[in-house]
Structure 1
Amino acid sequence: MKRGSTIFLKSVIFFIGIAILALCIFGVPEIGNIVAKLLPNMAYIKYPVLIILYAAALPFYYALYQALALLSYIDRSIAFSQSSVIALKKIKYCAITISCLHVLLLPLFYLFADKDDAPGVIFVGLVIPFASMVIAVFAAVLQRLLKEAIDIKSENDLTV
């Protein structure tokens, strides 16, 4: 496969990484300040929120790295290899980790919903964990399909 065929996907991954970096630099501290303002009697909750959000950024960037590695395997025509299966497995675990970390923030969304009497806020808090779990399931399905394709390929290589 030609090397340029995945340039678009690599550039999208790069821009997503830049956007999340900007969010980590500018948005996450503001979220912490908003939490401290909305819950003044529990202003200390700002720090666990910051820790969880920054901790979720680490597996996110690792998953982006693994996605870039997967695209480079495609460029080098070794997409049907064990290293691709391992990359998908790591992406799956990163998505599960991100989902679990954001689930830890759901009680905070409950407090916001209780304070503003807006139960829809809880559903907003479920967006990132749900999206992460969808990505984890998708990566698991791709991992299984790729592993089966590799097994079929190796059987065909042995019969020839």
Structure 2
Amino acid sequence: MNRGSTNFLKVVVFLLAMPILGMCIYLLPWIARDVLESNWELAYLVYPVLIGMYASTIPFFIALYQAFRLLSYIDKNKAFSELSVRALRNIKFCAITISVLYLASMPFFYLIGEKDDAPGVILIGMVLTFAPMVIAVFAAVLQRLLQEAIDIKSENDLTV
């Protein structure tokens, strides 16, 4: 992989961070303020979901940083190293953490959907829970493949 494509991917990783950062700065406080001003009877259910969303941004940004590091390792021709395996493992754990945080907030999604008669809210909660799990499985597969490639490479180096 040449440096142009890894630089492009680094820009994409940076651009992935911008909407989430904007959501944390502008959208989530606006939702909290709107719920507070509306005197909605279910306002107490929204706050745990917002707290879960804020908490999930921490592992999200850690995973983006690990992806950036992984791309740097590829630039330095250290793609087949333990550092890359460790970065993929960290991405996997971050995705699992995000999924667990949203899974913990699913009862609140359910209660909001049940009381407000909006089943789409439950579907949104499920998507927020299972999308990171897909990323975790993908990272686990890549981690295992990379570890096996490193093992084969070290075996071949020892036989020569």
TM-score, normalised on structure 2? 0.90
Unaligned runs of 5+ in 1: none
| 2:5 corresponding residue in structure 1 | 5
Tell me the amino acid that sits aligned with residue 28 of structure 1: L
Q: Distance in 2 between matches of 1:129 and 1:120?
A: 14
Alpha-carbon spacing, 1:112–1:45, altered in 2? closer, same or farther (3 Å): closer
Q: Distance in 2 between matches of 1:57 and 1:67?
A: 15
Q: For residues 108-147 of structure 1, what are the structure 2 equivalents within 5 Å?
A: 108-147=108-147
CA contact (8 A) 1:92 1:137 kept: yes
Alpha-carbon spacing, 1:62–1:81, altered in 2? closer, same or farther (3 Å): same
Q: Distance in 1 between matches of 2:30 and 2:104?
A: 19
CA contact (8 A) 2:49 2:105 kept: yes
In the TM superposition, what is the alpha-carbon distance from 1:30 to its structure 2 partner?
Answer: 2.7
Partner of 1:80, secondary structure, is coil
51-60 or 115-124: which moved more? 115-124
| 2:89 corresponding residue in structure 1 | 89
In the TM superposition, what is the alpha-carbon distance from 1:122 to its structure 2 partner?
Answer: 1.0
Unaligned runs of 5+ in 2: none
| 1:79 corresponding residue in structure 2 | 79
| 1:29 corresponding residue in structure 2 | 29
Q: Distance in 1 between matches of 2:115 and 2:43?
A: 15
| 2:103 corresponding residue in structure 1 | 103
CA contact (8 A) 2:49 2:109 kept: no
Give the fraction of aligned pairs with identical amino acids, expressed as a percent: 61
In the TM superposition, what is the alpha-carbon distance from 1:39 to its structure 2 partner?
Answer: 7.8
Alpha-carbon spacing, 1:115–1:42, altered in 2? closer, same or farther (3 Å): closer
90-99 or 43-52: which moved more? 43-52
In the TM superposition, what is the alpha-carbon distance from 1:36 to its structure 2 partner?
Answer: 4.7
Q: Distance in 2 between matches of 1:125 and 1:146?
A: 32
